[in-house]
Homo-oligomer: A and B are copies of this chain.
Amino acid sequence: MFEKILKEKHLKITPQRLAILKEIQKFGHISIDEIYENIKESNPSMSLATIYKNLSSMQEAKIVDEVKFPNHKQRYELTKNPHIHLVCEKCGKIMDMEIDASVENLKAMCAKTSSYDIKEASIAMIGICPQCQAVV
């Protein structure tokens, strides 16, 4: 329920925000221009500036997150529990994968070796998805 989330963060509930969040949810990982193009159909007056402003305020409020890694354009996703991104080099698809103990081990190992106080891990695995492997 996006209304509830926005209210908790003291952001006003506007049709624009709801539309943006719905779009992000629908695609999982989506770029700014995809949001814009998709929303324009149902909501032709929606302005790009509004999308930019809302993405930054909602990012600040930890409702949405940036997704970026080498060689890919920036996308957005709804904030969720920490997870790994699986990225297909062929079709560009991005999947989420739940984190298990091996990530905690890795964080602990890094913290120990480096003396960094590690808050979070940003992990992407880049490869070929099962569907694209099938296509020869």
What's the nearest-Cβ distance from chain B to residue A97, in Å?
6
Q: Which residues of chain B are near A106, meaning CB under 8 Å? A: 102-103, 106, 123
Taking CB as reference atom, which chain B residue is nearest A84? B110
Question: Cβ of A119: which chain B residues have Cβ within 8 Å of it?
Answer: 89, 126-128
Having A116-B129, A122-B126, one finds 19 other A-B pairs with CB under 8 Å, namely A66-B70, A66-B71, A67-B70, A68-B70, A97-B114, A100-B109, A106-B106, A111-B127, A115-B130, A115-B133, A116-B130, A117-B127, A117-B133, A118-B125, A118-B126, A122-B123, A122-B124, A122-B125, A123-B123
Integer count of this chain's copies in the complex: 2
Closest Cβ of chain B to A89, distance in Å, is 7
Whether A88 is near chain B, meaning CB under 8 Å from some CB there, is yes
Q: How large is the interface on A (under 10, 10 to 19, 20 to 34, 35 or more residues)?
A: 35 or more
Q: How far is the CB of A121 from chain B (nearest CB, A)?
A: 5
In whole angstroms, how far apart are the Cα atoms of A105 and B86 in the complex? 15
